[in-house]
Amino acid sequence: MDEKKTPVIGLPRALLYHRYGTLWQTYFESLGVETVLSPVTNREILENGSALAMDESCLSAKLYLGHVQTLIGKCDQVFIPRYSSLERDAVFCTRFEGLYDQTRNIFRASGQGFLSCDIDQRNRHGERDAYVNLGKKLGFSARDARSAYQSAVKVNEKQWRERVEAQEEEYRKPGMKILLVGRSYMLSDPYVGRPISDYLKSIGVSPLRADVTDRDAAVRESGKYSPTCRWLMSRELIGSVLLHQDMVDGVILLSAFPCGPDSMVNEMLTRKLKGISILNLVLDAQSGMAGVETRLESFVDIIRFKEGAPV
């Protein structure tokens, strides 16, 4: 393939980018395709995304549209894969199935190109085949696309394994530890989720993330609480809480308003977790850190009081 004709692919730094970003970037890089990232989240991106989204959209979806907007005209195609299921009984939120069509419709007058692939194991559209077909769509051979996908998976898995191992070490260190239970695209976002971790650190608390876990082990463990929960990321979070609840001093359930899966799962965890302090934080487009910091500080003070430490 003529390198000069390869398109520039835009990657919105939101939603599943925080789960698959390394895989996507390595895949395109292995094919010699240039990628461009949207900026890190800021207030302007959130406000612009909120103006584009339907009122009932969750905070994370509003952020996503804001990130897509920053890429309009700066790349040939914005990559928006459809993730439906990785296993027959483990599905993603339906938002990820409709995201490509919804986004393309919102920006239909912009002239921007969009690129997608379908990952739906229930209908025999496996991840590997999806990325092979994506490569062919871009003009590469099936062999090159397969090789690029395999390289991307290897890099992604190595990086993930290192992150999990590093965090497991943190569980064994002394000091107060609080488990943040939320989706990667909430906890990793520098404007929405990361300030919560930063504030906890500033008051002497080690924030640990439930999403950074051995995913297979977490999914198996989650069946003890809810054998019927089908949302893959929810199952991972439930299982991670079960695996680590005895290693932390408190749990913060962090979700984006009005996330349906989180509202159900967090209610279940609040009812079933015993003997541990729990704080439920629901963030929306109007959330400010001042109020959040007050709640975090009070939560930490309550834990210290219960443990007999000076407040």
Please tell me the distance from the alpha carbon of residue 80 to that of residue 134, in angstroms, as a whole number.
12
Bridge partners of residue 36, in order along the sequence: 10
Which regions of 143-302 does DSSP assign to beta strands (E)? 177-181, 206-209, 250-256, 277-283
pLDDT value of residue 286: 66
Which SS3 state, helix, strand or coil, does residue 195 take? helix
**Helices assigned H by DSSP within 32-118:** 43-52, 59-71, 94-106
H or E stretch covering 78:
strand 77-79
One-letter amino acid at 84 equals S
With left for phi above 0 and alpha for psi between -120 and 50, is residue 287 left, alpha or beta?
Answer: beta
pLDDT value of residue 272: 86
pLDDT below 70 — which residues of the chain?
1-4, 286-288, 309-311
pLDDT value of residue 24: 98
Query: Which token pair is 96?
Result: 């990820």
Q: In what order do the strands lie in the sheet with 177-181?
A: 206-209, 177-181, 250-256, 277-283
pLDDT value of residue 306: 86
pLDDT value of residue 86: 87
pLDDT value of residue 26: 98
pLDDT value of residue 88: 73
Q: Any idea what the Cα angle at residue 271 is, between residues 266 and 276, rounded to 5°? A: 90
**Within 13 Å of residue 105, how many CA atoms lie on the same side as its CB?**
7
Which SS3 state, helix, strand or coil, does residue 82 take? strand
Please tell me the distance from the alpha carbon of residue 218 to that of residue 203, in angstroms, as a whole number.
29
Instruction: Write the pLDDT tens digit of every residue in 63-104.
Output: 999 999 999 999 999 999 999 998 777 899 888 999 999 999
pLDDT value of residue 1: 45
DSSP 48: H
**Within 13 Å of residue 167, how many CA atoms lie on the same side as its CB?**
22
Taking the model in full, what pTM does it have? 0.93
Contacts of 122 (CB under 8 A, 6+ apart): 84, 85, 88, 91
DSSP 190: T
pLDDT value of residue 311: 57
Query: Which token pair is 220?
Result: 């198996």
Which SS3 state, helix, strand or coil, does residue 275 take? coil
